[in-house]
């Protein structure tokens, strides 16, 4: 593997408070992103995703451990790292009294991009984020989703080698989310690397090449969406209406999960025919579908919570 775009080794972060007990937000996170990769950090609220993103983007000092961006230590040389990165902060908003066009252009100029390049990238970014119609309206008049698109457009326009996006599509409609996905894919094709956090599992699956699930400040699982799905016992799900009472009959086919009166059997594609045949014999209706990342996420994180 060539030098990674980002490498984190045993990163820990403890928040100390005068009024309450110390909080261990990160308990030894290690991960790596190759150049040009799109990687998602998944986890419940408070799992430590944003803390990690802020450490990696030079905005927060770790308690211990090391993070390197293109071989540069973010703790020792944040000023050397910053030209290589750009961040969409969680719940960030553009300047309300600038237009989207002004916001993107002003930010690019502040980063040292020359006038002509800043102008053309601003127009390109407005186009990509479908913001042309509102490009000259003050951001204060835009909807929440449009404001978020302005933030993403601002950061995408930087074409920085490493982008950190903390819940970049929150509040966006499905069309806007797909515009963001398309732009991020284009950026990685051009060589940028992207680390994003999201609570939209479909987004993580559609967009990221690999993902890390963080729980209680630790990396619980790392791999592709398919690998994660396999960890729950299979890639297919057979849902059997009124099958709750038949879990014994279906247990040998895979992992059985009862949900009210229904039974879900997580299994491999090679067992589907047998299960359907049994369902017909038992005169219960059954539907077949792929295991979703959300189901895998719930199973993996849920198992971890149960173990604790």
Residues making contact with other proteins (CB under 8 A):
54, 57-61, 78-79, 82-83, 85-98, 102, 106-107, 109-112, 138, 151, 154-155, 158, 164
- The CA–CA distances, whole Å, from 96 to 71, 130, 276 equal 37, 19, 57
Residue that is written with structure tokens 């990696």 in the block: 56
- Burial label for 144, CB within 10 Å (0-12, 13-18, 19+), is exposed
Cβ-based nearer residue to other proteins, 122 or 267: 122
Query: Residues 13, 63: contact at Cβ < 8 Å?
Result: yes
Q: How far is the CB of 199 from other proteins (least distance, A)?
A: 18
Q: How far is the CB of 67 from other proteins (least distance, A)?
A: 12
Cβ-based nearer residue to other proteins, 88 or 265: 88
Cβ-based nearer residue to other proteins, 92 or 223: 92
Q: How far is the CB of 166 from other proteins (least distance, A)?
A: 9
Cβ-based nearer residue to other proteins, 98 or 206: 98
Three-state SS across 74-100? CCCCHHHHHHHEEEECCCCCCCCCCCH
Give kind and range of the element (H or E) at residue 165: strand 162-166
Cβ-based nearer residue to other proteins, 60 or 288: 60
Q: How far is the CB of 42 from other proteins (least distance, A)?
A: 21
Q: How far is the CB of 112 from other proteins (least distance, A)?
A: 6
Handedness of CA 217, 220, 225, 229 (dihedral sign): negative
């Amino acid at each position: 593997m060539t030098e990674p775009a980002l490498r984190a080794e045993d990163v820990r972060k403890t928040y100390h408070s005068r009024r309450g007990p110390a909080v261990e937000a990160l308990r030894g996170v290690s991960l790596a992103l190759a150049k040009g990769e799109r990687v998602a950090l998944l986890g419940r609220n408070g799992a430590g995703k944003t803390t990690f993103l802020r450490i990696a983007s030079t905005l927060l000092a770790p308690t211990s451990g090391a993070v390197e961006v293109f071989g540069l230590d973010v703790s020792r040389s944040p000023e050397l790292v910053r030209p290589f990165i750009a961040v969409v902060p969680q719940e960030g908003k553009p300047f309300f009294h600038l237009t989207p066009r002004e916001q993107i252009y002003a930010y690019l100029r502040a980063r040292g991009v020359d006038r002509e390049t800043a102008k053309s990238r601003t127009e390109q970014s407005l186009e990509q984020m479908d913001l042309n119609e509102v490009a000259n309206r003050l951001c204060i008049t835009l909807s929440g989703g449009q404001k978020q698109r302005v933030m993403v457009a601002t950061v995408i326009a930087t074409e920085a080698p490493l982008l950190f996006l903390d819940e970049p599509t929150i509040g966006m409609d499905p069309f806007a989310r797909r515009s963001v996905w398309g732009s991020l894919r284009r950026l990685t094709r051009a060589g940028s690397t992207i680390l994003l956090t999201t609570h939209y599992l479909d987004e993580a699956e559609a967009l990221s090449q690999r993902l890390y699930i963080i729980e209680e400040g630790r990396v619980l699982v790392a791999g592709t969406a398919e690998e994660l799905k396999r960890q729950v016992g299979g890639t297919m799900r057979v849902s059997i209406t009124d099958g709750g009472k038949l879990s014994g009959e279906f247990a040998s086919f895979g992992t059985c999960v009862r949900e009210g009166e229904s039974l879900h059997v997580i299994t491999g594609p090679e067992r589907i025919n047998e299960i359907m045949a049994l369902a017909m014999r038992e005169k219960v209706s059954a539907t077949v579908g792929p295991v979703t990342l959300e189901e895998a996420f719930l199973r993996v994180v849920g198992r971890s919570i149960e173990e604790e």
